[in-house]
Amino acid sequence: MRSPRDVLYMSIITSFFIYLLYSRWNVSTSIIQPDVPNKGPHGKHAFRQRLIAVGDLHGDISNTKKVLQMTKLINAKSDWTGGQDILVQTGDIVDRGANALDIYKLMSKLRSQSTDHGGKVISILGNHEFMNAIGDWRYVTEDDIRVFGGTKRRQEALAKDGWLGAEWLANYSITASVPLSPFPRSPKLSFTHGSLRPSYEDLLPYPSKINEIGKSLLEKALTPPLAPPFPPYPYSGLPEGHTYEEAELYSEGGPLWWRGLAEREDENEVCQWADDLKNRLGVRRIIGGHTPNFEQIVSRCNGSIIIIDTGISSAYGGVLSAMEIIYTLTPLKDKNNNGHDRQEPFLIRSPASSDPDSANVQIREKGDMEGTEQEISTEKGLKGRYIEREEVHAIYERRSTLIAVEERELML
């Protein structure tokens, strides 16, 4: 016969093991739990930013939603649940599949919903967006044209005063340099659909030069009358009046089409390119889509280059994937405890109130999750020494893998 006390001890021990199991399991899965705000004190963190990047989607709305749900950016109703997270989509939403229109509408909705929560949607143009703009409709499916309401309607939507053309011009760019925090010396990440070629003439100033050229070319292409679609009409090429720089941008060696960082086999050469690009562009990583690997996100040169196209669209049938970055700043308290707070991010997800050190964080929350705006304005007051940690993961439907971890001490 067991006494009640034995039973109590047994259950305490059992709970402890369940907790251990749970926290092990949590290492690989809880990084995608969205129920904590990014900024403000979370346990020992003074600042936290999550970023999700998604590659080529090619007209597959259903897999697009699966990926955004899998990364907890949207709920079953496709509303933004990512709070202050950043979503970057690296282009090629259109062609091959039937439902590009729905994906563009979803992105537009999420852009405005995320803004309301202090989050952000960053959209990059792919070579297929540009093909559609200049009338190269070789990969446009009949279903896609039908969904838009026919060829004429589709051209009207694409024109610069149509809903999609205007959206591309206002809210999409060829390349982006995305800082992971608003603080000085924040690492930045570069996102482009294809590969940036080190010898490409218009890299600098980055990213403004490339984006100016891209916008100017796009505007010419989308100014009515639009080029008649090829096929059935002949290919009409770049719009009349395009410049040399614009032709270079759209060329095989330009940022929309080049595949060098993904395809060049010589690892030494690629890593030299990566170092050169990182220095000149002032970024920590160069991330692109365009060249699919159907099994996994590909990291090269120790995470300096990350290719995130896994052929998500059922037109390809590759794995559903996303790249995730968790960026945190943790105050260094004093020299006695050796400063380093080496807790894994999942541990800080326990309620802040149960964490005796949470009083040490520099920013105080005003209200709770809704206090975002004020927090951002007080972030300027974030002074002191911090451990900056950036974790890069590849997320798939049933697992996630670690691509890189970068940690350094930072004085703010």
User: What are 326's two structure tokens?
Assistant: 């968790």
151-158 and 163-171 helices, crossing angle to 10°: 30
User: What are 93's two structure tokens?
Assistant: 């939403």
Residue closer to ligand NAG by CB (options 166, 347) is 166
Centre a 10 Å sphere on the Cβ of residue 92 and count the other Cβ atoms it contains: 30
Centre a 10 Å sphere on the Cβ of residue 27 and count the other Cβ atoms it contains: 14
Least distance CB 359 / ligand NAG (angstroms): 31
Contact 353, 43 (CB under 8 A): no
Least distance CB 306 / ligand NAG (angstroms): 12
Residue closer to ligand NAG by CB (options 48, 111) is 111
Residue closer to ligand NAG by CB (options 88, 312) is 88
Among 133, 99, 104, CA closest to 226:
133
Least distance CB 166 / ligand NAG (angstroms): 4
Residue closer to ligand NAG by CB (options 116, 240) is 116
Residues lying near ligand NAG in the complex (CB under 6 A) are found at 111-112, 115, 166-167, 170-171, 302-303, 404-406
Question: What separation in angstroms does the CA of 197 have from each of 161, 252, 326, 359?
Answer: 33, 10, 28, 48
Tokens 């509408």 -> residue: 105
Residue closer to ligand NAG by CB (options 70, 308) is 308
Question: What separation in angstroms does the CA of 382 have from each of 2, 184, 330, 377?
Answer: 56, 11, 11, 10
Least distance CB 287 / ligand NAG (angstroms): 15
Least distance CB 109 / ligand NAG (angstroms): 9
Residue closer to ligand NAG by CB (options 102, 355) is 102
Residue closer to ligand NAG by CB (options 91, 292) is 91
DSSP character at residue 208: H
User: What are 15's two structure tokens?
Assistant: 């709970």
How many Cα atoms are found within 13 Å in the side-chain-facing hemisphere of 83?
22
Least distance CB 170 / ligand NAG (angstroms): 4
Least distance CB 123 / ligand NAG (angstroms): 9
